[in-house]
Amino acid sequence: MEKLWRLRGIVFFNGRRVSEQELQKALEKELAKSTDKTVIFEGDKNVLLGETVRVLDMAKKVGAEKISIAAKAAASP
């Protein structure tokens, strides 16, 4: 399972900051050697939907078979 974070224009892949170009290569490499083709996406609440979709499309393009979106529970009032 590969972990992907996006925070206000900054992308992290498995805990390492990467550019979007590096991300595609890193995802492709890791997914090629993984039997579990799942990518978990966790984005900052301020990330725009279009940015999220672009990164998720990239993951599918390079071999992700499953994509999960991790979210934190809202704080109780």
pLDDT of residue 7: 60
Residue with tokens 């170009």: 21
Q: Are 65 and 37 in contact (CB under 8 A)?
A: yes
The string over 6-45, giving b where at least 16 C-beta atoms fall within 10 Å of a residue's C-beta and e elsewhere, is beeeebebeeeebeeeebbebbeebbeeeeebebebbbee
pLDDT tens digits along 31-66: 898 888 888 888 777 777 888 888 889 899 999 999
Chain centroid offset of residue 58 CA: 9
Q: Does domain 2-69 have CATH number 3.30.420.270?
A: yes
pLDDT of amino acid 63? 92
Q: What backbone phi and psi angles, to 5 degrees, belong to 34?
A: -100, 140
